[in-house]
Amino acid sequence: MRILLINIAHPAIGSRIPKEQMPPLGLLWVGGPLIDAGHEVKLIDAERGPLPDGEVLRQAVGFAPDAVLFGHSGSSSGHPIIARMAAEVKRRMPSVTIIYGGVHPSYFWREILYNEPHVDYIVRGEGEAICLELITALSEQRPVEGILGLSYRRNGQIVGNPAAPVIADLDAQRIGWELIEHKNYGYWGGKRAVVIQFSRGCPHLCNYCGQRGFWTRWRHRDPQKLAAEIARLHREEGVEVFNFADENPSAGRKPWIAFLEAVIAENIDVTLCGSTRAGDIVRDKDVLHLYKKAGFERFLMGMETTDAATLKLIKKGATESVDREAIQLMRQHGILSMMTWVAGFDEQTDRDFWHGLKQIISYDPDQIQLLYVTPHRWTPYYRLAEDREVVQTDLTLWDYKHQVLNMRHMPPWRVLLWVKFMEIVAQARPKALLRLLYHPDRKIHHAIRWYYRMGKRVWFREIWRFLTQDRAKPAGLTVRQIVGEAQDHEEEASAVPVRKRA
């Protein structure tokens, strides 16, 4: 079969402003097994450019696919765009099969199949094996009733097959790197880059996380195999930067150290960056030199807040002392620390923002990223937020970078002012500027300068968009009225295999 993968262009993601994009790992991972099964597969990555809708449709029609697969890492914020594009693809090619997967459709499959007749199948949970099984069944004209993790219509009724088990062996499916031209993707200041994944899932219980239940449980790739893959991409394709998409790659100390040692053994000069927990950094204080030697230049640590009551509310499982120590340890080993701070978990006042700013400065992170809480109805946190009024009804802006929840004590414009003020004060404090002007590590100095250039452009763009396009204001609607009833009872998108007792 001729299979077309479409990665839609998402206008709300601020990182496109500096014109640096990375390839869509999820679609590449779905494409690899399809190629190996003998299907002709093509990727249209509309994020690059970005491509206008008309060009995407022109290329799609020109390829004449039998099936079109949509998926997007932006989750709910990407859905309205996928819905529009999928409908137009179906209008121009009525016989094509539309398949849709990812986080958002895994939970909203009933609504999508009810409201969007152009979507034929929805893949729930991890899609590599399910998509291959579905395409095989369609090509052989076999029934799909037995395919786990699949939702569809049958005789006018919406059907959801039982959940598919999580993929235990993450090396069983190959990433289809041949679907892209590596020269077209850059990050970290124009360096050739890709997204990679060592693990899936997270063992922690943060109740607002929209990814925790999608991956169901933590698993990891073979450390040696992933290190060899990174080395091949570096040597053969010139890839310099590898951005880890994991929620918590270092959750398992033993396999994580094995991976670091395997990368070091490859003797390659690469830049690695990703996200981890502050607790893991402190846990690994005795091996942080391996982090640096392997090539790690920055870790984003999701601290979310500096307020103890809010940390308890969102079940973060973090402490101020551990967060501070993690930042200090990373600096001692020449690794940049990026700290996130999220506005809106609870009703906040000017005093709360001021206290948050003072705490951020006292933590002394190298970089700061301020976000807005975005409630997902499949998370436990949703029940705490479902009755709050929204200030943004455009779901394409439910992307953590735009205000969603109203705060009774201040209007949206003042929340924006606080967020932008906190960002600029944190990044323009004397210690941070000194690191910008001088850092003894050449690679780290490059990374700092690049982040400031990117951040400056994003900072002004977000203010401009708020004033001219976003129109954030109390909408008179609650979160539940916008996205529906709580769904935390279905948080786990995949089934966990039951281990038989010996």
pLDDT in tens, 214-242: 998 999 999 999 999 999 999 999 999 99
Residues 242-270, buried b or exposed e (16+ Cβ, 10 A)?
bbbbbbbbbbbeebbbbbbbbbeebebeb
State residue 501's pLDDT score: 47
Structural element, H or E, at residue 112: helix 109-115
Q: Residue 289 burial by CB count (10 A; 0-12/13-18/19+): exposed, middle or buried?
A: middle
**Alpha helices in 118-160, H assignment, sequence order:** 128-139
SS (H, E, C) 320-380: HHHHHHHHHHHHHCCCEEEEEEEECCCCCCHHHHHHHHHHHHHHCCCEEEEEECCCCCCCC
Taking alpha carbons only, the member of 193, 222, 199, 194 closest to residue 211 is 199
What whole-number distance in Å separates Cα of residue 298 and Cα of residue 273? Answer: 5
Helix (H, G, I), strand (E, B) or coil at 41: strand
Q: For position 419, what pLDDT does the model report?
A: 95
Q: For residue 502, what pLDDT is reported?
A: 42
Residue 74: is its pLDDT beyond 70? no
Helix (H, G, I), strand (E, B) or coil at 121: strand
The answer to whether 422 and 370 have CB atoms below 8 angstroms apart is yes
Q: Which residues are CB-contacts of 496 (< 8 A; sequence separation ≥ 6)?
A: 165, 166, 216, 217
State mean pLDDT over 48-75.
Answer: 91
Residue ranges of the domains in the chain? 2-160, 181-483
- Alpha helices by DSSP H, 123-238: 128-139, 212-215, 223-237
Helix, strand, or coil (residue 45)? strand
- String of b and e for 175-198 (b: at least 16 CB within 10 Å)? bbbebbebeebbbbbebbbbbbbb
Q: Which residues is 318 bridged to in the sheet?
A: none
Residue closest to 304 by CA, chosen among 353, 339, 275, 278: 339
Digit-coded pLDDT (tens) for 390-424: 999 999 899 889 999 999 899 999 999 999 999 99
Asked if 382 and 376 touch (Cβ cutoff 8 Å), the reply is yes
pLDDT tens for each residue of 36-52: 999 999 999 998 888 99
What is the identity of the amino acid at 138? L
- Give one DSSP letter per residue of 456-489, joined into a string: HHHHHHHHHHIIIII-----S-BHHHHH-S--GG
pLDDT range class, residue 317, cuts 50, 70, 90: low
Determine phi and psi for 340, rounding to 5 degrees. -95, 150
pLDDT tens profile 474-483: 989 999 999 9
Phi-psi map region of 226: left, alpha, beta (phi>0 left; psi -120 to 50 alpha): alpha
**What pTM was estimated for this model as a whole?**
0.94
Residue type, 393: T
Q: Whole-angstrom Cα distance, residue 22 to residue 10?
A: 13
- Condensed to tens digits (0 to 9), the pLDDT of residues 325-357 reads 999 999 999 999 999 999 988 888 999 999 999
The CATH H-level (homologous superfamily) assignment of domain 181-483 is tm_1862 like domain (3.80.30.20)
User: Across the beta sheet with 150-154, what order do the strands follow?
Assistant: 40-45, 2-7, 67-70, 97-101, 121-123, 150-154, 157-160
CATH 3.40.50.280 fits 2-160, yes or no: yes
Strand boundaries in 245-335, DSSP class E: 271-276, 296-301
Do the Cβ atoms of 170 and 245 come closer than 8 Å?
A: no
Q: Check residue 58 and give left, alpha or beta (phi > 0: left; psi -120 to 50: alpha).
A: alpha
Mean pLDDT across the chain, nearest whole number? Answer: 92
Residue with tokens 């009024």: 389
